[in-house]
Structure 1
Amino acid sequence: MSTTTPQKFEFQAEIKQLLDIVIHSLYTEKEIFVRELVSNASDALEKLRHTSLTAKDVFGDQALEINVTTDDKAKTLTIQDYGIGMTRAELIENLGTIAHSGSKKFLQALGEGGAKNTNLIGQFGVGFYAAFMVAKSVKVYSHSWQAGEPGHVWSSDGSGSYEIEEAADVARGTKIVVELKDDCGEYATDGRIKGIVERYSAFVSFPINLNGKRVNTVQALWLRSKNEIKDEEYTEFYKFQAHAYDDPLLRLHFSADAPLSINALVFVPSENTESFGFARFEPGVALYCRKVLIDAAPKDLLPEWLRFLKGVVDSEDLPLNISRETMQDKALLDKLGKVITKRFLKFLDEEATQRPDGYVKFYAKFGLFLKEGAALDHTHKEQLMKLLRFESSLTDKTKQTSLADYVSRMGGEQKEIYYLVGKDRTAIESGPYLEGFKARNLEVLFCYEPVDEYVMNNVREFDGKKLIAADHADVKLSDIPKPEGALSEADTKTLTAWLKTSLGDRVADVKASDRLVDSPALAINADAFMSAHMRRMMKAMNKEGSDLPQKANLEINPRSAVIKRLFEIHTAAPDKAKLVAEQILDNALISAGMLEDATPMVARLYKLLETV
């Protein structure tokens, strides 16, 4: 109830200018006004908490909480706190002038940098004015914490002036009553406000009651000590934050003071839903500043390959624009992302070393993301390569090894890390490409994922050792004692020349192999710039160049009974020998994954069967 005659004031020119900017161009979403008013209420309660530690006479004994009330019939929204409150002079100073609201600095920034500075300014504490985006009028009832001060009501329709008068029966703190515009009635409904508060203000330190029922029941765990938090609390938080039903597979909870003040709590889900054919993960690590949501899904915070992470990052060092919706400094956001990424990679390294069984489970589900990062993220490539795992010719089936362990087993003469791409272990071990390496006790990594070849080609080396495909034409293996019974060098040259002529354009070159032990022959892609696997991928995507004729280099084994028999008949039965030669080539192409059309091979096999 009013106890004095209202006194009318004109807004200062700068405030009029500010109101125009806030109402018409600053915020992209009108709902932000709720977050701003709740955030201001939380700040007022925090100030009272600190003040009450030293002040003797604090007016009122209300609980430190925020009460939000909706009235869809009257089309009003009320937000009340029992915080520090304001005197008459403070109402004028904070809401009607530029003295303390931060408006002057904001407007100066706009004047100095032009319109672009709406995205390049700091947080100036004028979020209160956002209410006028949706309000016909705003009334602010406030009573200072000081017992000797009377209560007041400040009111305005935002058009250019405001009124202040004394009011009786005003509780300590501030109550803001927003009378909504006709087209903004949704903000007077319980469900709409509940959704906004849960989205933006779920972790405010003080209780938020909506129409008498508490809304924010989940604590801001990232600000608490890890030693105080139970596993069940972490799981509850994860499910709330990620809108998930599963339990998290891994979690990382850490804080840092330098180079930025950071409190982070991130989770790895239990399943990689992308692998089931579901939609691509959207960014799931929300960005907060002092427990107030800034961006629920910031696209530029973490690298793309970490899109599977869920959780929260909170930093007090973030300079935000006036609406808290856009980061002021992209470079600072990048720095924040690098700190989190580096810390998560360190965490994975610790998991791999200290809890290898757990890391194996993680890698089975999310290893593809690490491979994606290794191929594309040059900043973190070295750390990511250390985390990759592969089966190899020296590991048992299903057991994996790291690149670092591979290097530790290398002999002094070995300069390269060898790998083979194949459908599975059986396909690789039954092919001809492994023979020469096994004979020399050289370890070969087995790569089963379609992305592996792309990763190896992009990374190119690890720990100073080149990564090279074991079936690459440039592979040079050391000499080893050769069993007796091989074709002579002269006979081998004769046969390779005949094969080159007989096979014609189907082969680029034919030579004796130094890597075959048992198999008669192997085919190697003659295109140094496009592997057979890459060609198949490009063909599936109808990429240009994938339909060009494919040529192979054919390597033969002079010790093979098949090759020796071919030498015997290439002059005695040239027609039959030509069929055998073409079949040897097709068999080698099948092993290499390079045979694109098997129809001619089937017809040839029938011809060969006729000669049996």
Structure 2
Amino acid sequence: MTKGKISVHTDNLLPIIKKWLYSDSDIFLRELISNAQDAIMKHKKLSSLGEAQMREKYEIKVKVNKADGTLKISDNGIGMTKDEVEKYINQVAFSGAAEFIEKYENENDDKSTIIGHFGLGFYSAFMAAETVEIDTLSYTDGATAVHWLSDGGSEYEIGDCQKDDFGTEITLHIADDNKDFLEMSTVRSVLNKYCSFLPIEIYLSDESDNEKEPQLINDTNPLWLKKPSECTDEEYKAFYHKVFMDFNDPLFWIHLNVDYPFNLKGILYFPKLSHELQSIEGQIKLYNNQVFIADNIKEVTPEYLMLLKGVIDCPDLPLNVSRSFLQNDGYVSKVSGHITKKVADKLTSLYNSDKDSYFKYWDDINPFVKYGCMRDEKFYDRVKDVIVFKKYDDTYITLKEIGELDDKEVFYITDSDGQAQYVELLKDENKNLVYLNYAIDTHFISLLEYKVSDIKFKRVDSYTGNDVDKDENLDEKIKDTFSAFYNQEKIEIKSLNSSSVPAIIVLSEEARRMEEMTKMYGNMGMMNLPKNEATLVINRTSELISQILDCKNDDVKNLICKEIVSMAKLSHNSLTGAEKNEFLDTTAEILKKLLNI
């Protein structure tokens, strides 16, 4: 068998890097700033080992010159010799950062502060520039400054130049179709996006305006790197407002600070929601050594936590070559699992330490808690004891407490105004009355009934009263009286605890859930099941019902019976359009009879 060697032509490779490697056109500035930071971190590393002299101040400078059409990025880091330029710049995909880490991996220091790994970041400069120049001077004694020039093709020029201080300056001659990057506002915006929290100070200046002081762009010691004990509530809130441009205060937050078994730092905020779906797409910003990578990396935070806002800095996450996406890796799932656990721990600790605050926050956080329980069994197991329900009297009860009651039947309210009559009937019977007024609740209670089999949830309009004071003769007489106005098989006679309510319409919980499921799935696999007719429950203790039975005027009796049925449907919100018109006509007819018109 013959062996060969695959050849790669830079004429073909560089256009691919330029057009397809990176997802955003502005990402070149992040890559060049990251390279500058790496150069400085290398010099700091060597200085700590006694191989170089530590500078008093390290900094990165970004200079815009609109008149010349140039954008410059300079650092006072390690610099390069001519051989190193040949090695690291002229060899595509050869990473000087990776080589440096490998050389010093046994030294007792944090090598994770070096960002680059793939050796491709520099060539992202050609995404915006038609020509790129490098002027660099190595920190080593006797080094000669080097100038390098390329138009992004396979050829380049290299030679000596004049440079007094070690470090590197990259000059981008911006292409005509990228002139936006010669605007100070554009460059400032990009730097704020990617580099707001880099550990080395970054200064932005306009080369054509020497009177203006360079502007410091970044905060080199962001809040998430501090110990939680060193941070105040006001600092957490101020950081939230700054990063997410949200003028509302967050409800509470979780400060992540893990060194083992992986390096993970960050802050997760629980935002205040003005309605159920407002922040279902929240904003989790992923950083790698304080360099912004992307928003909402779903591999790191489970879907049900995506309504949170926060920053996560994890240097060890396996990024792809463009550093825009995560590679599939078991390490990622471990980080995600840890974040989920910390969220559950925070909810539990808040409930145990400050129930009043927890109850106050519940209206905002309960949709995501419920969704998390439905999507992640481990999350449910961790938070099941702090799942709470708001009761009709504005107190709260936990799922665990409901499970300890003798009466495990829970009646829930989804519409306080529309279900007012049913609530009135139930509230005096010491029933468990709770609010469940989010769209997710229908699915959530099914999960709870599966998990805790002896707890049953019923909507308040499925309540059918009781059979106290049962009188078969009276009940049959009532049923016969109303049979002309409602399906007799769907009429029940019960005792309701309010004599002022003559009748109600009820639909069993099971039947209503089946109807909702049929609507949701459009009868798929449901074999076109017939619609369940609601039951008319007539109150045998009602004074009005008693008077109807004694009424000798059949016309009046029929009008009132029809009106009672319509009133029950109205309260149940089940009157059709035609029935509403008929109800209004009947009401008018009754008024006429009252006035003897």
TM-score strictly above 0.5: yes
TM-score range, shorter chain: 0.7 to 0.9
- Are residues 1:432 and 2:425 paired? yes
CA contact (8 A) 1:44 1:81 kept: yes
- Give matches, 1:182-581, under 5 Å: 182-211=176-205, 212-217=214-219, 219-256=221-258, 261-269=263-271, 271-274=272-275, 282-298=281-297, 302=301, 306-329=305-328, 336-371=335-370, 380=379, 387-392=386-391, 397-408=393-404, 410-411=405-406, 414-424=407-417, 427=420, 431-433=424-426, 438=429, 441-448=430-437, 452-453=441-442, 455-457=444-446, 460-461=449-450, 463-471=452-460, 482=468, 486=469, 488-496=471-479, 498-499=480-481, 501-505=483-487, 509-513=490-494, 518=499, 519-525=501-507, 528-530=510-512, 551-568=533-550, 574-581=554-561
- Are residues 1:587 and 2:567 paired? yes
The gaps in structure 1 that reach 5 residues or longer are 1-11, 106-121, 539-547
User: Which residue identity lines up with residue 525 of structure 1 in the other structure?
Assistant: L
Overall identity of the aligned pairs, in %: 26
Q: Secondary structure of 1:44's partner?
A: helix
Q: Secondary structure of 1:456's partner?
A: helix
More deviation, 236-245/163-172 = 163-172
C-alpha spacing 1:350/1:475, structure 2 compared with 1 (3 Å): farther
C-alpha spacing 1:190/1:473, structure 2 compared with 1 (3 Å): closer
C-alpha spacing 1:555/1:182, structure 2 compared with 1 (3 Å): closer
Deviation of 1:525 (Å) = 2.2
Q: Secondary structure of 1:52's partner?
A: helix
C-alpha spacing 1:475/1:403, structure 2 compared with 1 (3 Å): farther
Deviation of 1:326 (Å) = 2.6
Deviation of 1:186 (Å) = 2.6
Q: Secondary structure of 2:239's partner?
A: helix
CA distance in 2, matches of 1:332, 1:474: 51
CA distance in 2, matches of 1:104, 1:291: 18
TM-score by length of 1: 0.78
Deviation of 1:377 (Å) = 6.7
User: Which residue identity lines up with residue 26 of structure 2 in the other structure?
Assistant: E
TM-score by length of 2: 0.79
User: Which residue identity lines up with residue 47 of structure 1 in the other structure?
Assistant: K
Deviation of 1:196 (Å) = 0.9
More deviation, 417-426/189-198 = 417-426
CA contact (8 A) 2:92 2:120 kept: no
| Paired position in structure 2 for 1:137 | 131
| Paired position in structure 1 for 2:102 | none
User: Which residue identity lines up with residue 568 of structure 2 in the other structure?
Assistant: A
Deviation of 1:602 (Å) = 3.9
Deviation of 1:209 (Å) = 1.0
Deviation of 1:38 (Å) = 0.3
C-alpha spacing 1:26/1:335, structure 2 compared with 1 (3 Å): same
CA contact (8 A) 2:482 2:561 kept: no
Deviation digits for residues 57-97 of structure 1, max 9, x if unmatched? Answer: 44x84621111111111111111111122222221111112
Deviation digits for residues 360-404 of structure 1, max 9, x if unmatched? Answer: 3322444444455556777745666655543335xxx33232322
User: Which residue identity lines up with residue 154 of structure 1 in the other structure?
Assistant: W
CA distance in 2, matches of 1:500, 1:466: 36
Deviation of 1:22 (Å) = 0.7
Q: Secondary structure of 2:48's partner?
A: coil
CA contact (8 A) 2:465 2:494 kept: no
C-alpha spacing 1:55/1:26, structure 2 compared with 1 (3 Å): same
The Cα RMSD (Å) is 4.0
CA distance in 2, matches of 1:31, 1:219: 24
Structure with more relative contact order (C-alpha pairs < 8 Å, separation 6 or more): 1
CA contact (8 A) 2:458 2:509 kept: no
User: Which residue identity lines up with residue 579 of structure 1 in the other structure?
Assistant: L
User: Which residue identity lines up with residue 512 of structure 1 in the other structure?
Assistant: I
CA contact (8 A) 2:60 2:73 kept: yes
CA distance in 1, matches of 2:296, 2:73: 27
More deviation, 399-408/83-92 = 399-408
Deviation digits for residues 275-304 of structure 1, max 9, x if unmatched? Answer: 7x9x76643211112211111344665455
- Are residues 1:51 and 2:42 paired? no
Matched residue count: 553
CA distance in 2, matches of 1:296, 1:315: 14
User: Which residue identity lines up with residue 189 of structure 2 in the other structure?
Assistant: G
Among 559, 562, 586, the residue aligned to 1:604: 586
CA distance in 2, matches of 1:303, 1:292: 22
Q: Secondary structure of 1:502's partner?
A: coil
CA contact (8 A) 2:418 2:571 kept: no
